[in-house]
Amino acid sequence: MTEIKATARNFKVSHASDWCPGCGDFGILNALHQALGKLGLPPHQVAIVGGIGCSGKTPYYVGAYGIHTLHGRLLPFATGVKLANPELTVVATGGDGDGMAIGAGHFVNAGRRNVDLTYILFNNEVYGLTKGQASPTLPLGLQTKSLPEPNIQGRVNPLMLALASGFTWIGRGYAFNVRQLVDLIQRAIQHPGLAYLDVLQPCPTYNNVHSREWYAGKDRGNQPRVYSVEDEGYDPVVPVWAGDDAVFEKMRQFIEKAYEFGDRIGTGVLLENRAVPTFEQRLAERTTEYAASPPARRAIADAEGRPLADLGTFFREMSFGEPS
């Protein structure tokens, strides 16, 4: 049977979204459709995992497998999907409140594993679904329209947290630069390991501080704040052969870009490290049972519903001993 390659049209759905007019989610969704189409991925081999919030509705708007999970828990679900069926392309989509607050612990531990999947964070600095409360990415002292007082808490820097946690591909994009975003999503998906893409986006309903006009630099003579690091010759790649000094120099360069926010905000691939083995590779080295027969390929019951699973080989290879 010949596999038919998909286009962006195959990933679009007929029903409308309920996002607010002018929301950055539309740009991200558009870019996701195009990226999946350009990669030629069959829709039945793609899984979109969403969290809770406006961004969490993304699985409903992509013509592929979709999973709407619990608040802050999209990464454990996405990890389970990928490990159960390594042949799937898994993309997790969540918001800054979802991922950097209740989901922060899962974010850190996902970085430790380096499972081969992509996490796109829709970063608008507010809880847009619940009337615009300050999210963990809103800077200290800023006051958006629904806050009675300026934000009293400090800002989490998702890029720095991704670096500290062990993500092996880290990028930043802007929701209204769709052309660049298409490229970034493709590169994130193609990266062998855990990829994190932080997408800055305006919330036209609740974030009246960092608006589309602010990113476009309307307050400073129409000089856009967002620029491409690639245009300035930035090299994000950590060579496989790199020694400690070379790695530390890449980390220094990354940190400079990760802290840019204000008059200049660099977007693009900020770090790419292919020297770290994926979690799937680590499992395959420890047990041939997983590599030869991951869960999705196994028959779990016979025609009469009796279980067929025999985990004896797996337990022996993992040195657990036979189950009692």
The DSSP annotation for 124-163 comes to: -SEEGGGT-EEPTTSPTT---TT-SS---SPPP-HHHHHH
pTM (predicted TM-score): 0.92
Comparing 320 with 31, which gets the higher pLDDT?
A: 31
Q: What is the pLDDT of residue 193?
A: 97
* Whether pLDDT at 314 is above 90: no
Task: Report the distance separating Cα 313 and Cα 118, nearest Å.
Answer: 31
User: What does the pLDDT look like over 216-266, one tens digit per residue?
Assistant: 999 999 999 999 999 999 999 998 888 888 889 999 999 999 999 999 999
3-state percent breakdown (helix, strand, coil) of the chain, nearest 5: 40, 15, 45
H or E stretch at 256: helix 244-258
Dist CA 115 CA 322 (whole Å): 28
Residue 161 has pLDDT above 90, yes or no: yes
Identify the pLDDT of residue 244. 86
d(CA 284, CA 279) in angstroms, rounded, equals 9
Predicted confidence at residue 287, as pLDDT, reads: 84
Tallying the residues shown for the chain, one arrives at 324
Nearest to 156 by CA among 147, 148, 165: 165
Which is nearest to 116 in space by CA: 173, 64, 74, 167? Answer: 167
User: Which of these, 240, 270, 266, 96, lies nearest to 170 by C-alpha position?
Assistant: 270
For the chain, give the mean pLDDT: 92
Instruction: Average the pLDDT over 63-90 and give the result.
Output: 95
Give all domains of the chain, ordered by start, each with its CATH number: 8-277 (3.40.50.970), 287-317 (no CATH)
Residue 129 has pLDDT above 90, yes or no: no
Task: Name which residue leads in pLDDT, 79 or 293.
Answer: 79
When pLDDT is averaged across residues 272-277 and rounded to a whole number, the result is 92
* pLDDT for the residue 1: 46
